[in-house]
Amino acid sequence: MDIFFIVVFFLYGLIFGSFFNVVGLRVPAKSLFSEKRSYCDTCQRTLSWKELIPVFSYIIQKGKCQGCREHISLIYPLIELATGILFALNYFFFGFTNRMVLGLLLISLIIPITVSDIEYKRIPNKLLIFFSPLFLIYRLFFPLNPIYMSGIGAAVAFILVLIIILVSKGGMGVGDLKYFTLFGFVFGLYHFLLLFFLSTLFGSIGGLITMKVKRLGRKSRIAFGPYIGLAALTVFFIGEPLIGWYISLF
């Protein structure tokens, strides 16, 4: 039965991953509800249902649009596959529990923000505003122990990142500040500190690789949102064993 539900969650994840791609690309462009059907970004041709099957359409079409034959960005199938895997892992780790609900909320926030930040170098306010009340409601029903830890986590996140923004003069953006603050509220102080450490670690490694591959200069702007999201998912799935190790460092 577990295998059945893992497969079901994976398939639903593929479907939602396709939707998250659309959200991440269209929300910053303010066109989420302006188009009723998906279309090719190059030739503007409306896509048929055969071209909208998550992952499989990309493979069958060999990564090219059936109309104009232009290459389709690899981000589409990767995001769909990643969402499918994350949905499956969420069920595998937590089953039908309140923790699984938190996982679905986190994935549903992180994936479209990752797409948006990669494409536009922006973390959309609309997504943060939409999800913040949902996380607040979740924490009202399932508070941290002690209950004030959410407030402390959010406050420390806000102050810490704000100081970095002021000192670095733009090393981080206001979107990163809001993103971190939301996670500070969700995870609490100690888990947020681990999240912040991991995000800087992931960001440093990923940034160096990106600059080397794309031959970018040190002052080039690199999307940090994906690394924040990756750190948040890491803390969510395996944060408990990591938090003891992290605290022991201090």
Distance separating alpha carbons of residues 86 and 107, to the nearest angstrom:
7
136 bridge partner residues: none
pLDDT at 128: 96
Helix 225-248, helix 75-94: angle, nearest 10:
30
Q: Residue 63: left (phi > 0), alpha (psi -120 to 50), or beta? A: left
71 bridge partner residues: 64
How many Cα atoms occupy the beta-carbon half-sphere of 164 within 13 Å? 15
Distance separating alpha carbons of residues 204 and 164, to the nearest angstrom:
15
Which positions ≥6 away from 166 have C-beta within 8 Å? Answer: none
Distance separating alpha carbons of residues 212 and 165, to the nearest angstrom:
25
Q: How far is CA 12 from the centre of its chain?
A: 17
DSSP class of residue 37 equals: S
- For 71, the 3-state DSSP assignment is strand
Q: pLDDT by residue for the chain (250 residues), tens digit each? A: 589 999 999 999 999 999 999 899 888 877 666 655 666 666 666 666 676 778 888 888 877 767 676 777 888 899 999 999 999 999 999 999 999 999 999 999 999 999 999 998 899 999 999 999 999 999 999 999 999 999 999 999 999 999 999 888 767 889 999 999 999 999 999 999 999 999 999 998 988 887 777 766 565 677 899 999 999 999 999 987 777 665 666 5
Distance separating alpha carbons of residues 35 and 92, to the nearest angstrom:
36
Which positions ≥6 away from 174 have C-beta within 8 Å? Answer: 165
| DSSP3 helix / strand / coil % (the chain, rounded to 5) | 70, 0, 30
Cβ count near 202 (within 10 Å): 18
Q: Which two tokens stand for residue 114?
A: 């990752």
Domain spans in the chain, listed from the N-terminal domain onward = 1-107, 143-250
What residue type is assigned to position 13 of the chain? G
